Structure 1
Amino acid sequence: MTSAERVPFQCLAADEAAALIRSEPEIRLFDVRDLQSYQQEHLEGAMHLSEERVPLWLGRLPREAPVLVYCYHGNASKTFAQMFSDFRFARVYSVDGGFRPLANALAAPAAEEAPSDALSPILAAFLADWEYPAGDLNARGRHGLTPLMRAALQGDRAIVEELLALGVDLHARNDDGNTALWLGCVSRDAGLVQDLIEAGIELDNRNDAGSTALMYTASSDRPQLLELLLAAGADPQLRNFDDLRAVELAASKTCLKLLRHTAD
């Protein structure tokens, strides 16, 4: 088949793909990331697809079936989408940005309308400065950061406390698969991290590299936060996708000492 005869596929932004999935219950979803990433998490109903299994699906699906393919960042999915298009599938889509933005778009709750008089002037200014809509406290900005994630990254404990009191989503993940806990550890604010822990944030969330906040604090030499996470019950035995535990990532003797009981 020549390029001139190819049936084009369509690239969709994450929010467009999420809307399509919601409106088309019969759409076939394919995850073309590696099997380990797929097994860790994938969209509900998505089937893992490798190149050698493409012929199986080409022969099994009706040509009128809508097909949506996602990968890590929106590159490999285009190759797989073209395979379906080359075999005359009428409606084929590839997701720009890949899995994480799409998962976030599907997981985003309906905009939580917070009355303007419920926000402190400081929080209202914070939302405006970072271009978040005042009525949606779980909105996603640059890099998939919610207001809570952004405040945690900035080390703004007062904003974090107010957002927690307003009931924002603790479990939202950014484009790299990190929650506000990881970003709070980046800011080095132990009080802020403790607030997140006490609010019930997941301690062992694994990002798109399989890493946890505990691994990050060990590898970036943040012993105070490392100790705090261990005391809260973070699991030191988890391994990232390079098969390394926090103890094997420790960047200093202090961090190694805190983790020495996990070395065996």
Structure 2
Amino acid sequence: MTQTATPAPVTSRSGHRISAADAADMLLRHRDGVLPALAVFDVRDAARYAAAHIEGAEPLTEAGFLTVARRLPKTVPVLVYCYHGNASQTYAQMFADFRFPEVYSVDGGYEVFAAELAKAEAARSGSTTRTASLSPTLLEFLAAYGFDPDDLDATRAHGLTPLMRASLEGRADIVAELLAVGVSIARRNMDGNNALWLACVSSNAEVVRRLVAAGIDVDNRNDMGATALMYTASAGKADMVALLLECGADPQIPNFDDARAVDLAATRDCLKLLRHTLR
């Protein structure tokens, strides 16, 4: 029996490949205006494209590639999808050869990409809340940063949601209330960071613990492949490194330059906490 080879699933960006879930996340952040620019290309045949395609995707052929590559600014991130994730890898390499620094082939192809996008959109549709249940303190906080109290997952400056902003400000009280009313802990900002990263910026241990208890992805990798553990190690935040390790952060995850948290440790204290991860 002949089997069609398909790429193994990936969970993050590597080798010009991106998981369908991460691709859906990038596309939705672009639609929200969080990710300023994004080009999406469909390299299937014209009939398949006409029948169904990802909204906003342009059809792309080998014959038309040169024209597209010359007109598209190289600062624009590029997503390419095909039938199953094979041909799109070839196109991704072509863009890379033209010195596009951020270009990805969507693993699994159109059907998987469309399914992940639909799943993410469905999850968002149930994310709105109602003003009546919010405390005066939270309403004041939302007003101060221009957030919509009827949609607590909507983003503002730098792609921050209220949860991200509260985490960045170290407002454990606001974080607790936002989590209690059911805001999304999966949202990511314009750099692909979740609220946990921002809590580490504020160095607020209580906020970190609340987010972890709520189930936030401790090992989320941003658009550069960096985790919160890598950030805290590189910033010399030994207390945050210790806390993240306690919360189960994986020190063996590499970034897109193949560096781990231990490789990025900026201080002796951080290195001591991570030395057990050396191999």
In structure 2, what is the Cα distance between the partners aligned to 1:172 and 1:42? Answer: 14
Identical counterparts, % of pairs: 46
Contact 1:69 1:77 in 2 (8 A): no
In structure 2, what is the Cα distance between the partners aligned to 1:205 and 1:254? Answer: 24
Whose Rg is larger? 1
Describe the shift of the 1:257–1:225 C-alpha distance in structure 2 as closer, same or farther (beyond 3 A).
same
1:75 is aligned to 76
Q: 1:114 aligns with which of 122, 125, 130?
A: 130
* Aligned partner of residue 174 in structure 1, secondary structure: coil
Q: Which runs of 4+ in 1 moved over 4 A?
A: 63-67, 70-74
In structure 2, what is the Cα distance between the partners aligned to 1:72 and 1:236? Answer: 36
CA displacement 1:91-149 (0-9 Å, x = unmatched): xxxxxxx99xxx7x946334513242x11111001111111111111111122211000
2:23 is aligned to 42
* Aligned partner of residue 244 in structure 1, secondary structure: coil
CA displacement 1:64-95 (0-9 Å, x = unmatched): 567633899983659xxxxxxxxxxxxxxxxx
Contact 1:111 1:139 in 2 (8 A): no
In structure 1, what is the Cα distance between the partners aligned to 2:17 and 2:184? Answer: 24
Residue 202 in structure 1 maps to residue 187 in structure 2: no
* Aligned partner of residue 112 in structure 1, secondary structure: coil
RMSD (Å), alpha carbons: 3.5
User: Residue 166 of structure 1: CA displacement?
Assistant: 1.3
CA displacement 1:171-224 (0-9 Å, x = unmatched): 111111111000000111112111111222111111111111111110111110
Contact 2:127 2:184 in 1 (8 A): no
Query: TM-score, normalising length from structure 2?
Result: 0.62
Contact 1:210 1:241 in 2 (8 A): yes
Equivalent residue letter for 1:69 = A
In structure 1, what is the Cα distance between the partners aligned to 2:75 and 2:130? Answer: 34
Report matched runs for 1:66-215 at 5 Å.
Answer: 68-69=56-57, 75=76, 106=121, 108-116=124-132, 118-215=133-230
In structure 1, what is the Cα distance between the partners aligned to 2:73 and 2:196? Answer: 23
Structure 2: gaps spanning 5 or more residues: 1-12, 28-40, 59-71, 80-102, 105-116
Describe the shift of the 1:170–1:76 C-alpha distance in structure 2 as closer, same or farther (beyond 3 A).
closer
Equivalent residue letter for 2:143 = A
In structure 2, what is the Cα distance between the partners aligned to 1:202 and 1:259? Answer: 20
Paired residues, what number?
201
Structure 1: gaps spanning 5 or more residues: 1-32, 47-52, 79-97
Equivalent residue letter for 1:215 = M
User: Residue 161 of structure 1: CA displacement?
Assistant: 1.1
Contact 1:171 1:201 in 2 (8 A): yes
User: Residue 158 of structure 1: CA displacement?
Assistant: 1.2
Contact 1:170 1:201 in 2 (8 A): yes
